[in-house]
Each structure stands twice: as structure tokens, then as C-alpha cells.
């Protein structure tokens, strides 16, 4: 055994990217050699396949199955992705700590940041495997027609970003918590907070943004009193536009709509560039190109409705069933998904930053029950 | 903070975990080119001290230089120089033995070629070459222990910290460990070994630091330990003849009951005195069948410290 192998003149050093890549490689090797990942992928494929098959059967009777199926698959992939990503990421650090391998990494030239980046990248790539596995269904729905390929591409990209953000939450939490079980549950809670908590918070905030006795102008078509009293059958020409000034209760949802932005489903739904112009119909007519919005598009529409806030002036044209969407609103709806990504990214950054502090060595404070090695 | 001294100097190290004082006051010194034993009962703070020396734990108080650098201010410099073998064996179970070494080598900034050459050398040195491509989970505890030692040596560290390196090793591997450590010390490396197996440390260590209840209670070189008062065990056929000669020369002895055969134990101050007694017994026609130190030199010190056992 020669000890001259490492020339002492050159001090050992580890480049930042090299360290991250080494950790990434180490993690991926372990995942690829374990069986758990493959079993989870098989279960995933079966479940998504089943959902897709059932949806195909139910929609085959009606036309325009493509957009509906596409929305459904994207929604389910996001839902299952939110379930899988915490499991893939939230034991990254404390699992190693329990196995005694974390200290072996910490004793090398690795910095806490390199460990976190490497672990996060590995868990993200592992969860992207699930996304890749569901892409056949997405492309199948695409092939059925009616969906703009750009919508599919954007959906996949935003889904990938969402998985990455959840993985970041998981890896950060796993550095903070002592036990894998605790960090996995905590990550699920955070995902639930984003997915359901934002809805609940939005719902509960309704009373806070309620304003009573607001004068609004409401117009509608009605028959004049003399027509109503006469015995003749009224014709459509008799309809007149009636305008009432009334006071009512309005909800300023434009002030709380940002709460919904942090919802993963809202982010994915809102980021997709639907062909919204095609849905705006000319007044009082039936549009040949009209298509029913899918699950995800409905979510986006609802959020934009909330962003708009109360409508103080309903014109007769708007009151019609096939009326235009233009409204006298508090604020103009804008794409809310960048805000959502920023909120989630901020949360992930805070969790990762806190987790990084737990990896700094020489360690000053250790959590109760933690052993370095 | 850097100085030319390559070894370890620690003064007044303290470290507590919550309300538990793991290390209360330890002075520790390990010069280069020597094997320093860290000896103490379970829970005396040995592992905590080694974690502090390895730059993983920060001491609450005290000054520390490892390989000439302070872990608190320049942990990277310390890590380049320190190889650490933990008492808990952390292995990536699905990785091959060779991959574990090359991966860790890469984390120390070795090139792929250098890491794989070094890994092959170390696998050979710890006799794991035939298991080089076996996943680590199939290795026995002793083999994992040897792999852990090879891992600690991958970047050719100047300072080697070994926490219970001999536990789980078969006798042959213990001898090899001893030879390897003596050779590394001969190359000028600083080696710290914590262990319970005191008889073994007798043959490896140049000096010993005794810790008890988080305090360093004694520092001793093996030469000092060898020249202190030691107990010797003597057996003869028949024992009565031995008793007569010992009594006639005024040597105080006691009968020991914890051995399977009856033996007498005497307290002697030096090897010269031991030689004199043996000669006297033989000349008095006592048939001496056994005449040996009751335990290792370090064990003698350990037992005499007595602080932990009441």
C-alpha cells in the first residue's frame, strides 16, 4: 500500500457541483438497486391506468372525450404525485442519520448545502420517474383530439415543478425531524395544508371580506306590468330591460384569492394556457366550438372568478344565459400561478434553510434524542 | 489558526447534551508518530470526545487543534487530515465494497482514477479483495468493520480516529489491525484508538489517556505503565511449597478464587523484582508452572483508578 498516491503538495478539494453530483449518484444507485421504487411505480401505473380506463368508458358515449380525459389524468397525476413525493423525499436525511451513514458524509469535504442539493435532486428525479410513467396516458388523451399540445407540455412542466417543490419540503423536513416517520407525516401535513388548507382558509375568510348593504345595480329582462296583467300570451318582443338599484351583501374575494394560489391544483390548473377566447360566446347565441371545461379548467375559472370579486353592475346582456363574461369588477383577474409557485417556493426555501442549519458541523446544538453517530 | 504540530492538542474540553454532561473536562494530547489509546468505561465520554476531534461536534468550552487546525474555524482543513472510523457501522447496504470506497474517495476530492487505485490497495490491505464486488449487506460484522477502516483511510489522513476498531474482529484480523496501525504510526501519522480490550492496547499503544465520567483522569506512556506496581499470578505443584517459600521471604500473597485453578497473587514493583522472585522460587526447588503479570499494564492502571466502579 503506497501512501505516496495522493501527492501531499496538492491539498484535497471538492468542487461544489462535483459534491452534489456524487451525492446524487449515491442516492440514485441505492434507489435503483432497491425494490421499493419499482413496486411503487408498478402500483402507480396500475392505478393511473385504472382511472384512465374507467374515465374512457364513461366518456366514450359522449363526444369531446379528449379534453375531459386530459384534465382528469393531469388532476390524478398531480393528486398521486402529491402522495408519492413525500414518501420519496422525507426520509432522505434522517433515514441516513438512523442508518449511521449521514456522519460518514458529514466527515468528508461535503458542505451541508451539497448534501441537501444532492438529496433533493435525487428525490426529484425519482418522482419524475412516476411522471414519465404517466405520460402515455397524457399523450393518449392528447391523441383523442381537442387538446392543444402546448397545454400538455405546460401541464407536464408544471407537474414536474410541483413534484420538485414537494420533494424540497420533504428533504428539508427530514433534516429537521429526528425520525423518518415524523418527517414523512409532517410533509404530508404540509401538502394537505397546501391542497386542502388553502381551500378551508379561503372559505373561512369569507366572513372577513363580507360587506353588507352595498348598493348594486341589477338589470334583467322582464315583461312590463301591463303585459303581465293582460290575458294575451306574451311574446319575446315585449321583454324590456328592468334595472333595479338594490342593497345586498357582497364578498370581496379579490382580497383573499391569493390564498388559493398556494394550492397545487390551482397552480397546475391556472398555468395551462386554455383557449379561453373560444369559450367567450357572442351574446345570445350558441357557439359550435363550445366545449365543456374539464376539471382543471373549471378550477382555474373559479379562481379567476374569485380574483374578480363582486360584480356591482349586472347588465341585461350579462343576465342572459349565453351572456358575455365581461363584468364590472373590483380587479382584473390575472394568472395567479406565478404567485402560487413563489409562495410554495418560499415555504420550501424556509424549510430547507432551517434543515441546513441542522446539518452544519461542528454541531453546536443537537435535537433531543439525536446522535451524530 | 494553524500551527506546525501535526497531532492533536485538546485542553479543557467540555460538552453537554441538554442536562447530561458527556464531557466535563478532558485534556487530551496525541503526538504524531504514536498510537494514543483512549480508555474508559462505557459512557465515560470517549465517543463524544472522538466526535469533537473529528469536527462533527463543537465543544462547549476548551481549545482544540487537530492536525494543526481548529475544527471550529477551519473544519475543511481538519477534514482533509482526519480519518474517522465510528463505533456504529454505517454502510450503504446496496453498494459494493469497492463502490463505497470510491464514493467516499470522490467526496474527498480524489479523481476517479486515484480513488479506484486507492480503493483497490485498501481492499487488499484489509483482506476484502474477494468481496470487492459484493454488496456491503452480505459482509459479516468483522468484514464491515474492516471496510470501515479502509474507508477511514481512503484519503490517506494524517490523523486517524478509531472508535472501538477491534470489536467484532476475529483474532487474525486483530493482529493485522495491530500491524497496520503500528506501520501507520511509523509513517508519522497520529493515531487515536478507543477500546475496552485493554490487553490489546498494551501491544498497540504508545501512550494512554484514561477518562472517567467525562474527565481525563490520567495520562500515561506504556513505559510508565510497565514500570508501575503490578500484580503477578503464580502457580506451582504443589501450592503449599510455594506458600512456604513466599512466607519465608516475607512476600505478601493472596489466594485468588475467580480462576478455575487456585493461584497466588503478589504485588511487585518492577520487572527486576519479578525476576528476583522467580529465581528465588526456582532455586528453592518450587515447581513453578505459571508466573505472569495478572493483567496488561494498562489494565493495571485502569483497575487502580477505581473511580467508576463503586
pTM above 0.90? no
Residue B73 CB coordination number (10 Å): 10
Specify the range with the lowest mean pLDDT, choosing from A20-24, A32-36, A287-291, B3-7: A287-291
**Chain B residues touching A96 at Cβ < 8 A:** 90
pLDDT value, residue A278: 54
Q: Is A160 exposed, middle or buried (0-12, 13-18, 19+ CB in 10 A)?
A: middle
pLDDT digits (tens, 9 = 90+) for A119-156: 999 999 999 999 999 989 988 888 887 778 888 899 99
As given in the structure block, the three cell numbers for residue B267 are: 504485588
Instruction: Report how far residue B231's alpha carbon sits from residue B239's, in angstroms, rounded to the nearest whole number.
Output: 18
Q: Is A115 exposed, middle or buried (0-12, 13-18, 19+ CB in 10 A)?
A: buried
pLDDT digits (tens, 9 = 90+) for A159-197: 999 999 999 999 999 999 989 999 999 999 999 999 999
Distance from CA of A339 to the nearest CA of B (A): 38
**CA-wise closest residue to B36 among B58, B11, B7:** B7
Segment holding B17, helix H or strand E: strand B8-17
> How sure is the predictor about A200, in pLDDT bands with cuts at 50, 70 and 90?
very high
pLDDT at A327 over 70: no
> How sure is the predictor about A1, in pLDDT bands with cuts at 50, 70 and 90?
very low
Distance from CA of B180 to the nearest CA of A (A): 10
> How sure is the predictor about A7, in pLDDT bands with cuts at 50, 70 and 90?
very low
How far is CA A349 from its chain centroid? 17
For A:74-113, CB contacts with B below 8 A are: 96, 99-110
What's the ipTM? 0.85
pLDDT value, residue B1: 40
Distance from CA of A123 to the nearest CA of B (A): 17
Sign of CA dihedral A297, A302, A308, A313: positive
Cβ separation of B79 and A108 shorter than 8 Å? yes
As given in the structure block, the three cell numbers for residue A353 are: 434553510
Return the axis-axis angle of helices A65-89 and A264-271, rounded to nearest 10°.
140
Q: From residue B113, how far is each of A25, A111, A251, A263, B180 by CA, in Å?
A: 17, 23, 68, 48, 24
Given CB atoms, is A366 within the 8 Å cutoff of chain B?
Answer: yes
DSSP state of A236: G
- CB nearest B90 (choices: A5, A100, A368): A100
Residue matched to cell numbers 492496547: B201
pLDDT digits (tens, 9 = 90+) for A270-290: 998 876 555 554 444 555 555
Counting as low any pLDDT under 70, the low residues of chain B are 1-4, 257-260, 306-310
**CA diameter of chain A:** 114
Strand A240-251 and strand A313-314: the pairing is unpaired
Mean pLDDT for A231-252 is: 82
A50 close to A140: Cβ distance less than 8 angstroms:
no
SS3 A69: helix
**CA-wise closest residue to B149 among B107, B186, B104, B117:** B104
**Chain B residues touching A1 at Cβ < 8 A:** 121-122, 124-125
Sign of CA dihedral B70, B76, B80, B82: positive
| β-bridge partners, B234 | B264, B291
**CA-wise closest residue to A101 among B103, B90, B136:** B90
Cβ separation of A107 and B52 shorter than 8 Å? no
DSSP state of B260: S
The residue count of chain B comes to: 310
Amino acid at each position: 500500500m503506497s501512501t505516496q498516491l495522493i501527492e501531499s503538495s496538492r491539498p484535497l478539494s471538492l468542487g461544489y457541483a462535483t459534491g452534489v453530483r456524487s451525492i446524487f449518484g449515491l442516492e440514485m444507485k441505492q434507489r435503483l438497486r432497491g425494490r421499493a421504487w419499482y413496486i411503487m411505480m408498478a402500483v402507480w401505473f396500475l392505478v393511473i391506468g385504472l382511472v384512465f380506463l374507467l374515465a374512457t368508458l364513461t366518456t366514450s358515449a359522449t363526444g369531446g372525450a379528449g379534453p375531459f380525459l386530459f384534465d382528469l389524468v393531469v388532476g390524478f397525476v398531480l393528486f398521486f404525485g402529491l402522495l408519492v413525493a413525500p414518501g420519496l423525499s422525507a426520509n432522505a436525511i434522517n433515514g441516513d442519520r438512523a442508518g449511521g451513514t449521514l456522519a460518514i458524509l458529514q466527515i468528508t469535504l461535503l458542505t451541508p448545502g451539497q448534501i441537501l442539493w444532492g438529496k433533493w435532486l435525487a428525490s426529484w428525479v425519482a418522482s419524475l420517474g412516476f411522471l414519465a410513467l404517466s405520460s402515455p396516458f397524457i399523450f393518449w388523451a392528447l391523441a383523442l383530439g381537442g387538446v392543444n399540445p402546448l397545454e400538455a407540455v405546460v401541464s407536464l412542466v408544471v407537474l414536474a415543478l410541483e413534484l420538485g417543490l414537494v420533494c424540497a419540503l420533504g428533504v428539508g423536513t427530514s433534516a429537521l425531524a429526528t425520525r423518518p416517520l415524523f418527517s414523512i407525516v409532517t410533509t404530508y401535513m404540509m401538502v394537505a395544508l397546501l391542497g386542502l388548507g388553502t381551500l378551508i382558509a379561503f372559505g373561512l375568510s369569507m366572513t372577513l371580506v363580507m360587506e353588507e348593504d352595498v348598493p348594486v345595480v341589477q338589470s334583467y329582462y322582464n315583461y312590463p306590468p301591463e303585459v303581465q296583467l293582460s290575458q294575451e300570451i306574451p311574446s319575446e318582443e315585449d321583454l324590456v330591460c328592468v334595472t333595479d338599484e338594490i342593497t345586498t351583501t357582497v364578498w370581496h374575494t379579490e382580497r383573499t384569492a391569493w390564498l388559493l394560489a398556494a394550492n397545487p391544483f390551482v397552480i397546475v390548473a391556472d398555468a395551462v394556457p386554455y383557449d379561453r377566447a373560444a369559450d367567450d360566446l357572442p351574446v345570445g347565441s350558441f357557439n359550435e366550438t363550445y366545449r365543456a371545461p374539464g376539471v382543471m379548467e373549471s378550477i382555474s375559472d373559479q379562481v379567476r372568478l374569485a380574483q374578480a370579486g363582486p360584480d356591482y353592475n349586472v347588465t341585461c346582456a350579462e343576465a342572459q344565459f349565453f351572456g358575455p363574461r365581461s363584468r364590472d369588477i373590483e380587479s382584473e383577474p390575472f394568472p395567479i400561478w406565478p404567485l402560487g409557485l413563489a409562495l410554495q417556493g418560499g415555504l420550501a426555501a424556509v424549510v430547507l434553510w432551517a434543515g441546513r442549519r441542522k446539518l452544519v458541523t461542528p454541531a453546536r446544538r443537537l435535537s433531543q434524542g439525536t446522535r451524530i453517530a | 489558526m494553524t500551527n506546525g504540530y501535526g497531532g492533536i492538542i485538546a485542553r479543557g474540553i467540555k460538552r453537554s447534551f441538554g442536562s447530561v454532561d458527556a464531557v466535563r473536562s478532558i485534556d487530551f494530547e496525541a503526538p504524531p508518530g504514536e498510537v494514543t489509546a483512549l480508555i474508559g468505561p462505557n459512557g465515560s465520554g470517549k465517543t463524544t470526545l472522538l466526535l469533537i476531534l473529528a469536527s462533527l461536534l463543537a465543544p462547549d468550552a476548551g481549545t482544540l487543534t487537530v492536525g494543526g487546525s481548529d475544527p471550529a474555524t477551519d473544519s475543511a482543513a481538519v477534514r482533509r487530515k482526519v480519518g474517522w472510523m465510528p463505533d456504529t457501522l454505517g454502510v450503504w447496504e446496496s453498494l459494493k465494497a469497492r463502490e463505497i470506497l470510491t464514493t467516499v474517495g470522490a467526496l474527498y476530492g480524489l479523481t476517479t482514477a486515484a480513488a479506484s487505485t486507492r480503493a483497490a490497495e485498501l481492499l487488499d490491505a484489509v483482506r476484502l479483495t474477494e468481496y470487492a464486488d459484493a454488496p456491503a449487506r452480505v459482509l459479516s460484522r468483522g468484514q464491515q468493520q474492516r471496510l470501515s477502516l479502509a474507508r477511514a483511510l481512503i484519503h490517506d489522513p494524517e490523523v486517524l480516529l478509531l472508535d472501538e476498531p477491534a470489536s467484532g474482529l476475529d483474532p487474525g484480523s486483530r493482529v493485522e489491525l495491530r500491524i497496520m496501525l503500528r506501520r501507520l504510526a511509523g509513517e508519522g501519522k497520529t493515531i487515536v484508538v478507543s477500546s475496552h480490550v485493554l490487553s490489546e492496547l498494551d501491544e498497540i499503544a504508545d501512550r494512554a489517556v484514561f477518562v472517567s465520567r467525562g474527565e481525563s483522569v490520567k495520562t500515561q506512556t506504556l513505559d510508565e505503565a510497565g514500570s508501575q506496581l503490578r500484580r503477578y499470578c503464580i502457580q506451582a505443584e504443589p501450592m503449599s511449597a510455594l506458600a512456604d517459600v513466599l512466607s519465608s521471604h516475607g512476600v505478601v500473597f493472596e489466594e485468588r478464587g475467580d480462576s478455575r485453578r487456585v493461584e497466588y497473587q503478589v504485588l511487585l514493583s518492577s520487572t527486576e523484582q519479578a525476576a528476583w522472585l522467580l529465581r528465588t522460587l526456582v532455586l528453592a526447588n518450587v515447581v513453578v508452572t505459571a508466573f505472569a503479570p495478572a493483567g496488561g499494564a494498562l489494565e493495571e492502571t485502569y483497575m487502580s483508578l477505581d473511580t467508576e466502579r463503586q
